[in-house]
Amino acid sequence: MPGRRRTSRTGRALLLTMRLDQFVAKATGLSRKDAKQAISRGRVTVDDRPCRQAASKVLEHQTVQLKDQRLTLPGQRYLMLNKPEGVVSSTGDDPHPSALSLLPPALRPELHMVGRLDLDTTGLLLLTSDGQWSHRVTSPRLRCPKTYRVTLADTIDSVALEQLRRGVALRNEQRLTAPAEVTLLTPRMIDLTITEGRYHQVKRMLAAVGNRVVALHRTRIGEIVLDPALAPGEFRALSDAEIHSIGG
Ligand code: URA
């Protein structure tokens, strides 16, 4: 079972539960089999007591030692990538390369992409090893805002802008979209901020007001803004402030 981290309203980690063998393997780089063996031989202590059950749960505040050496988990990773066109934000069966392939091989195994962008959508894609953090970005209940720069096929009028702001009916869906923020930049370009993540939502919202998206670029997630120094395909680690700006 993967480790689980719960957070308080301030975002502070309260509780980590992870199987002991998984904790030992992650902290030491031992294989799971070798970690289990060390545990069954009584070489691992939890809060100074030998623990021989590989499946027992380790809590955040507990001290785990292997042969008197305190074990700690390696830190989580948080990155932003300027996604170019033509890469997918999934790792499944797809003829196109995954955005993960743009990262050095050593970084890839632990990371997952936070949410999805279409093949032809560019811009801000977050990657992390921290499942709880990515949940806070993607959970519909938490309404983390995402901003897109949208280039349109046709000029957009004030009626359509107002419809987008109030909420529109997407094809084959009953429920209107949640209110959105819209800034008109040019007659064929808007910034649109939405707090939901429905399937192809931006393209379908613009279709619902009789227009068509010709280019879509994500510029912002919550307080995290795509770094203008990143060329398409480039990435960088998030700062502590960026990581902590995603609340819980
Ligand atoms: N909305 C879309 O239509 N496509 C994306 O890639 C993201 C949001």
| Number of domains present in the structure of the chain | 2
Q: Residue 64: what pLDDT? A: 84
Q: What is the CATH number of the domain that holds 219?
A: 3.30.2350.10
Most distant pair of Cα atoms in the chain: their distance? 73
Closest ligand 1 atom to 117 CA:
6
Closest ligand 1 atom to 121 CA:
6
Q: Residue 122: what pLDDT? A: 98
- Residues 132-144: what's their mean pLDDT? 92
Phi, psi dihedral angles at 149 (to 5 degrees): -90, 120
Q: Compute how many other C-beta atoms are within 10 angstroms of the C-beta atom of residue 113.
A: 21
Q: Residue 67: what pLDDT? A: 84
**Co-location of 129 and 65 in the same domain:** no
Q: Residue 47: what pLDDT? A: 84
**Co-location of 8 and 109 in the same domain:** no
**Co-location of 102 and 45 in the same domain:** no
Secondary structure of residue 102 in the 3-state scheme = helix
Of 53, 70, 87, the domain-final residue:
70
Query: Which of 26, 2, 20, 18 lies closest to 64 in space, CA to CA?
Result: 20
**Co-location of 42 and 122 in the same domain:** no
Q: CB under 8 Å to 221, separation ≥6 — which residues? A: 114, 124, 126, 137, 144, 145, 146, 147
> 86-132: per-residue pLDDT in tens?
999 988 788 999 999 999 888 888 899 999 999 999 999 999 998 88
- Residues 40-57: what's their mean pLDDT? 93
Query: Which of 83, 62, 183 lies closest to 126 in space, CA to CA?
Result: 83
* Distance from C-alpha of 233 to C-alpha of 99, rounded to nearest angstrom: 8
- Indicate which residue of 34, 118, 157, 227 is catalytic: 118
* Distance from C-alpha of 124 to C-alpha of 135, rounded to nearest angstrom: 17
Pocket residues for ligand 1 (CB within 6 Å)? 117-118, 121, 200-203, 216
Q: Report the share of the chain in percent with pLDDT over 90.
A: 70
**Co-location of 159 and 178 in the same domain:** yes
The distance of Cα 205 from the centroid of its chain, to the nearest Å, equals: 23
Tell me which of 114, 148, 168, 214 to substitute to probe ligand 1's pocket, judged by most ligand atoms within 8 Å of the beta carbon: 148
**Co-location of 15 and 49 in the same domain:** yes
**Co-location of 91 and 30 in the same domain:** no
**Co-location of 65 and 151 in the same domain:** no
Cβ atoms of 196 and 41 within 8 Å: the answer is: no
Of 70, 90, 111, the domain-final residue:
70
Q: Residue 72: what pLDDT? A: 63
* Distance from C-alpha of 161 to C-alpha of 96, rounded to nearest angstrom: 34
Instruction: Return the minimum-mean-pLDDT range out of 51-55, 65-69, 80-84.
Output: 65-69
- Residues 139-143: what's their mean pLDDT? 91
**Co-location of 104 and 149 in the same domain:** yes
Q: Compute how many other C-beta atoms are within 10 angstroms of the C-beta atom of residue 40.
A: 13
**Co-location of 100 and 208 in the same domain:** yes
Q: Residue 33: what pLDDT? A: 92
Distance 170 CA to ligand 1 centre (A): 13
> What beta strand segments (E) does the chain contain?
4-7, 13-19, 44-46, 49-50, 57-58, 64-66, 69-70, 78-83, 112-114, 122-128, 146-152, 181-186, 189-194, 213-221, 224-225, 235-237
- Residues 158-179: what's their mean pLDDT? 97
Q: What is the pTM of this model?
A: 0.74
Distance 76 CA to ligand 1 centre (A): 27
Secondary structure of residue 207 in the 3-state scheme = helix
**Co-location of 181 and 82 in the same domain:** yes
Of 70, 87, 110, the domain-final residue:
70
Assess whether 118 carries a catalytic annotation.
Answer: yes
- Residues 22-44: what's their mean pLDDT? 88
For ligand 1, atom 7, the nearest C-alpha belongs to: 117
Domain span at 9: 4-70
Mean pLDDT of the chain: 89
Q: What is the CATH number of the domain that holds 30?
A: 3.10.290.10
Closest ligand 1 atom to 203 CA:
3
Long-range contacts of 155-158 (CB under 8 A, 24+ apart): 155/187, 155/188, 156/184, 156/187, 156/188, 156/190, 156/209, 156/211
CA atoms within 13 A on the CB side of 153: 9
**Co-location of 105 and 192 in the same domain:** yes
DSSP 144: -
Instruction: Return the minimum-mean-pLDDT range out of 30-39, 171-180, 189-198.
Output: 30-39
